[in-house]
Amino acid sequence: MKRREFITRPRYWQEREVAMAIDFTSASIARSQAGPQVPRRQFFCDEVGRREFVCGGGAGVLSVILATLLASSKPVRAEAVTGSVPELDRVAVRIVIDSYQFAVAPSRKLTSVDVQHFGWGLSDKPPRRTLVSEFGLAMQVESRRGNETRNILVDFGFTPEALLNNTNLLGIDPAAIDALVLSHGHQDHFGGLVGFLQAHSGKLKNKLPLFVGGEGCFCAREWTAPPVRGNFGVIDRKALEEADVVVTYAERPALVADHAVATGQISQRSFEKVLSPSAMTIGFDRGVGCYSQRLSEAERSAPVVPDQFQHEIATAFNLKGRGLVVLTSCCHRGVVNAIRQAQVASGVEKIHAVIGGFHLAPYQEDYVRDTVRALQEIDPTYVVPLHCTGEAFYEAARAAMPTKLVRSYTGTRLVFEA
């Protein structure tokens, strides 16, 4: 049996990780959804009387809490990637939620991928519902290695209604899920999570791991880009605790359910720039928010900062003899950067498929063309744009690499064979 090795860290890192256990404490904050002209409640960082405890360190009180936790709570660690990553015989990616459904699209078999579109989900009874599409993303991956199967849910769409409806129609068994992965802390990726966990209480595996790329996932956010500014949600950490989910920090590359690789935080390696469509509120209040002491200096430089997505991660699967199947999710830090990070994390150079949102819709056409050229240099076998990629990329990619481009919709299943 393969020996598992875990990331070992100095004492202050252990305390930092144990401090993460403080976070699951009470109900979520109700933040104003009024326009920017209306004063809104801030987190502890804006409250002078309590600032020293959460935002300034509160060393005396915090050390007592840490000592108690260290005596009674074991830190959660992601399993480090050591040596070669697992080679898989089959990787099947189901698009559970995306922005668009095309019910009459014909399925087709390509050289090394079977593209299975869903249709309406008809039976011998009159239909009463169909798949829900929304501006969000959720994917389910079933991977096989020999007789061993793993199921991973990557991102959770904008609403629990869409996630619950679609997972039911698509026949996804919540009891079979081995791990959850959240790519970053935007509502259109975490929005369905808590409702899904609550609806399936008692059905999910005990201590189901939820992989995130860092504390920044939990900061409250406001959407600051066009067309409308407003509250963009915050994860209910108390609800995660009640669901018996184990939040697992994968700031560095980590194995997920023994089959996949969480890339760890994505470095800026290419020409790509980070557009910041949201702002992070730094601080913790009434069971939600993020702890400033576990963020970078740049992230905690002010009570509200532009979102740089340092916590964003991608997820990769190593298909035997083919290369990596990379789920980029949203690519705020760039699709090329996400691919490069997956290569570094896995030690595998060949890219078989890139699937996900590439976040190119807000960019100018010359930037989109630069991205297409960079992808041509990487030379993946298949490119599957979803979610926030935008039509400009699809048109440019169809002209530049028509045999690589695969169109997918809500409900589509992409089956890759070794």
pLDDT tens for 57-114 read 343 344 334 333 333 333 387 878 888 899 999 999 999 999 999 999 999 999 999 9
Class in CATH terms, 11-417: alpha beta
Peptide bond just before 227 cis, omega within 30 deg: yes
Question: What would the pLDDT profile of 101-158 be if each residue is shown by its tens digit?
Answer: 999 999 999 999 999 999 988 889 999 999 999 999 999 999 999 999 999 999 999 9
**Among 318, 375, 383, CA closest to 349:** 318
Whether 45 and 292 have beta carbons less than 8 Å apart is answered as yes
The 3-state DSSP class for residue 324 equals: strand
Distances in whole angstroms, Cα of residue 275 to Cα of each of 71, 224, 311, 329, 369: 43, 11, 15, 16, 17
Query: What pLDDT was estimated at residue 16?
Result: 37
Question: How far, CA to CA in Å, does 89 sit from each of 150, 225, 405, 406, 416?
Answer: 12, 42, 23, 21, 9
Indicate the domain borders of the chain. Answer: 11-417
102: Cα separation from own chain's centroid: 25
Question: d(Cα 145, Cα 123) in Å, to the nearest integer?
Answer: 32
Among left, alpha and beta (phi > 0; psi -120 to 50; other), residue 289 is left
352: CB partners within 8 A, 6+ apart: 112, 319, 322, 323, 324, 325, 380, 381, 382, 416
Strand blocks (E) in 50-178? 79-80, 90-97, 108-109, 113-116, 138-145, 148-154
Instruction: Identify the H or E element spanning 315.
Output: strand 315-319
Q: Which two tokens stand for residue 78?
A: 């992601």
pLDDT band at 279 (very low <50, low <70, confident <90, very high): very high
Nearest 5°: CA angle at 319, between 313 and 325?
A: 35
Q: How does DSSP classify residue 88?
A: B
pLDDT 10s digits, 397-418: 999 999 999 999 999 999 999 9
Q: Tell me whether strands 90-97 and 138-145 are parallel, antiparallel or unpaired.
A: antiparallel
